[in-house]
């Protein structure tokens, strides 16, 4: 009899990159001698390809138009910031490098789309920097909770701080020494990440769901299952739990 496959405990590198791209509303573009901060001007298609929708007379569009062989070398940087008021809010950075090619959509002479032909993609987190395979990025999808994550985490932090503290009963007690505050830091279909803040440092811990959540309603159910588990687990840490 074959072994039963166990779902991954957390997203792959390619999925994390796609999720950051899905959540991002701004980016920084660096070209030869120029740096641009672009807000609300990029798109990401279903295969993870990035496009920049710019005025045709903008400096980056002009720079791309006159680039040698019609392709402008560029570096695009996306910063993933936690929506809750944690210490050190930058959760990840995604860097895409490659070449921008200008396209003129029909009937929009005043606009130009710069399409990025990605040569390299990297993800930087607290654990370090890793490269994402380009083929894997094309096949991967953003986490189903990616675009709703900010609203869900903000709700948990604002409306359910006691429940977040209760979840520390599921954490190794060695990690709770000196902890002053617990924040919901990240949420994906595989689990919830808590940030345990001490006076001068912090630790992030992942609480895995029993099964992946495919939407916000299921994520709520999975968090309720974690809370139910706190009633039966052997560990009872009360320093943070006032319920």
pLDDT at 12 exceeding the cut of 80: yes
Tokens 């009899």 correspond to what residue? 1
User: Which CATH code of 3.30.70.60, 3.40.50.880, 3.30.530.20, 2.30.110.10 fits the domain covering 13-139?
Assistant: 2.30.110.10
d(CA 159, CA 163): 9
| pLDDT per position as a tens digit, 203-218 | 999 999 999 999 999 9
Superfamily the domain 149-229 falls into: PNP-oxidase-like (3.20.180.10)
Out of 63-67, 76-80, 86-90, which region has the weakest mean confidence (pLDDT)? 63-67
Query: What's the distance, Cα to Cα, between the start and end of the chain in Å?
Result: 46
Largest CA distance in the chain: 67
Is the pLDDT at 4 greater than 90? The verdict is: no
How far is it, in rounded angstroms, from Cα 49 to Cα 157?
A: 33
pLDDT at 1: 36
Per-residue pLDDT at 234: 55
Query: Pairing relation of β-strands 90-103 and 50-55?
Result: unpaired
SS3 label, residue 109: coil
pTM score: 0.90
- Residue 49, pLDDT > 90, answer yes
- Domains of the chain, by residue range, sit at 13-139, 149-229
Please determine, for residue 5, whether its predicted confidence score (pLDDT) is greater than 50: no
């Amino acid at each position: 009899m074959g072994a039963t496959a166990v779902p991954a405990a957390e997203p792959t590198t390619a999925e994390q990159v796609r999720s950051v791209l899905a959540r991002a509303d701004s980016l920084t573009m660096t070209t030869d001698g120029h740096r641009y901060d672009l807000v609300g001007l990029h798109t990401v298609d279903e295969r993870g390809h990035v496009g920049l929708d710019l005025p045709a007379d903008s400096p980056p569009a002009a720079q791309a138009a006159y680039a040698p062989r019609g392709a402008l070398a560029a570096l695009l940087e996306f910063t993933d910031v936690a929506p809750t008021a944690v210490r050190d809010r930058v959760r990840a950075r995604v860097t895409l490098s490659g070449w921008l090619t200008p396209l003129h959509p029909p009937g929009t002479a005043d606009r130009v789309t710069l399409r990025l032909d990605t040569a390299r993609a990297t993800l930087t987190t607290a654990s370090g920097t890793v490269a994402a395979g380009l083929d894997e990025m094309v096949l991967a999808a953003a986490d189903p909770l990616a675009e709703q994550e900010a609203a869900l985490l903000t709700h948990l932090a604002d409306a359910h701080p006691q429940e977040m503290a209760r979840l520390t009963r599921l954490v190794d007690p060695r990690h709770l020494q000196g902890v002053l505050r617990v924040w919901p830091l990240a949420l994906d279909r595989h689990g919830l990440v808590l940030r345990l803040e001490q006076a001068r440092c912090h630790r992030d811990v992942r609480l895995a769901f029993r099964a992946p959540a495919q939407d916000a309603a299921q994520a709520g159910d999975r968090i309720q299952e974690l809370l139910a588990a706190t009633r039966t687990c052997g560990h009872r840490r009360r320093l943070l739990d006032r319920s």
